Chain A
Amino acid sequence: MAKSKLIPGKYQYDIGLDQGAGAHLVAWSTGLMVFFATLALAVNMGLNTVTQNWVSGLSGSLTVEIKPPVSDEQQAASAETVKKVLWMAKQHPAVEKSRALTREEILGLLRPWLGEKAPDSLPLPAIIDITLKKDVDSSALIADINKVAPDAAVDSHADTLGDVKTLVATARMFVLLLTGVIILLTAASIAGIVRSKLAIHAQEVETLHLVGASDEYIARQFRHHTLKGALKGAMGGVFCMVLAILGVSYMTHTIDTAIFPHVRLMPLEWILIAAAPVLAGSLIAHFTAQRTVMRELSRLA
């Protein structure tokens, strides 16, 4: 490869690779790949954090529901049961804290079904929220609750947790699959760009061959050119991605997130997000170019 005499230290290609309509195609496709692949990666890691928070939030708690009373004497019995459960829970070794939800809180939970104006006379179930100590088995506690309140429904959230876990696992798998497809598509488009550059410059490539250039000598120029475009694109892609993530986390911090834990990334994840895609994107472009050129050149005479 010629070192230009005019601009020392700057690569000059023997072939006019910097000219023509396709000059920025590699940068664009690598940039888009990096952007979407990082987006996918961020979503993947975000989902991971979300589930972990959810799982630790939910698995550390029990909800005890005592059926709504239909008559006055049941009303008294129900209140009695609530007291008994609370009293039992207070002494139980597995329990961190426990409390009965107020009527307002229960109405709040039911609002989606009852609407704004629930009649005052509406019988409501009593709900006790129990927070467990860290890493304790809740089955003994559930048995004890059933002893004092045989009619109470105890929800350990196991079903919900199972559903959430399956859902999240499916979503993450889908995101990974999507990442793979994006990477394959980009590699294919880079191969296409390289092949069309080879076709456009076929005569110059032939001349290089005829004056004694090896395939490697020619491939080096295509590789260098592709890598240069890919690096530019990848850095652009990551830059846009960082802006997007900053935007999203700014919004999720200001929106009240009672249900959703904050989608927050650890410092290590930030570094990964910035460096890995640039490296990966450039490597993918580099090796795709090398493979494509060498294969195409070997087809020539």
Chain B
Amino acid sequence: MTIVKFSNVGLRYSTGPEVLHDLSFELQQGSFHFLTGPSGAGKTSLLKLLYLGQHPTRGIIHMLGRDLSALPRRELPMLRRQIGIVFQDFRLLPHLSAFDNVALPLRTSGLAEKDIKRNVTELLDWVGIGDKMEARPPTLSGGEQQRIAIARAVINRPKLLVADEPTGNVDSEIGTRIMHLFEELNRHGTTVLIATHDDEIVTRFRHPQMRLENGTLVEGPKRKAKAA
């Protein structure tokens, strides 16, 4: 099943130059890709398109079977709840506790408070923040914030997970742990796309690459039909 389908997608920010050109590719359910490329190549921009944080300036994006250009605004939240995002700068809500930040996607989808408590506690324990659940993000280290951001992205078992440099602020041991978490999620059917500069991770975990250079896809799952 195709989770994401780009057809001749281009993106420019307001009146600036085009930063993504003519992208056409598909991501199949259960696939796992690294998104690589030099700084400024457009990795974050591509992820923005994927997590519905930006409209393409041209081309058509199909996401979970829906044509985004024809999607009414009120249906956006439902679609977004199936996408987990790890932002490059985390974007945790600064005056919510670690617990409440991770609980956010569950609360916005209206889950019962007792289920929220069980799920969130379990996951925070797993990423090693169990003893700091009531701490606010600004009082935590970069690595701790990153783990909270990752927990928030995976808490409601998304169909698609996009992560922007998710191992950028943690030591290699925690980086490995995070990668294992993503692979675990992937085994349960989540499609994963991870933007990274970290060559060590890319070579060690041996997932196929999507490579961007100057806003163009030079390597990727263009016509590759990947098995789940």
Contacts and interface: CB of A to CB of B under 8 A. Distances in A.
Interface of A: 1-6, 12, 14-16, 19, 203-204, 206-215, 217, 298, 301
Nearest to A218: B108
A212 B77 contact: yes
Contact of A207 (B74, B91, B109): B91
A1 B93 contact: no
**Size band of the interface chain B makes with A:** 20 to 34
A217 B52 CA distance: 18
19 contacts: A2-B96, A12-B96, A203-B91, A208-B93, A209-B76, A210-B51, A210-B53, A211-B81, A211-B85, A211-B104, A211-B105, A212-B77, A212-B78, A212-B81, A212-B105, A213-B108, A214-B108, A215-B74, A301-B53
B58 interface: no
A207 B93 contact: yes
B93 A214 contact: no
Contacts of A5: 97, 99-100, 134
Contacts of B73: 298
B95 interface: yes
Given A2-B107, A5-B134, A301-B54, A210 B96 contact: no
B164 to A, nearest CB: 12
Among B55, B95, B99, max chain A CB count under 10 A is at B95
Contacts of B99: 5
A157 B219 CA distance: 100
B168 to A, nearest CB: 19
A213 B107 CA distance: 9
A203 B109 CA distance: 20
Nearest to B81: A212
B80 A211 contact: yes
Contacts of A204: 93
A3 B80 contact: no
A3 B113 contact: yes
Nearest to B85: A210
A4 B78 CA distance: 25
Contacts of B100: 2, 4-5, 12, 14
A55 B9 CA distance: 80
A210 B95 contact: no
B152 interface: yes
Given A4-B100, A206-B53, A213-B104, 7 more contacts: A2-B103, A6-B134, A19-B95, A207-B93, A210-B53, A211-B80, A211-B85
Nearest to A19: B95
Contacts of B113: 3
Nearest to B92: A207
Contacts of B85: 210-211
B65 interface: no
A217 B105 CA distance: 12
Contacts of A210: 51-53, 80, 85, 91
Contacts of A213: 77, 104, 108
A30 B97 CA distance: 32
A210 B55 CA distance: 13
B40 to A, nearest CB: 22
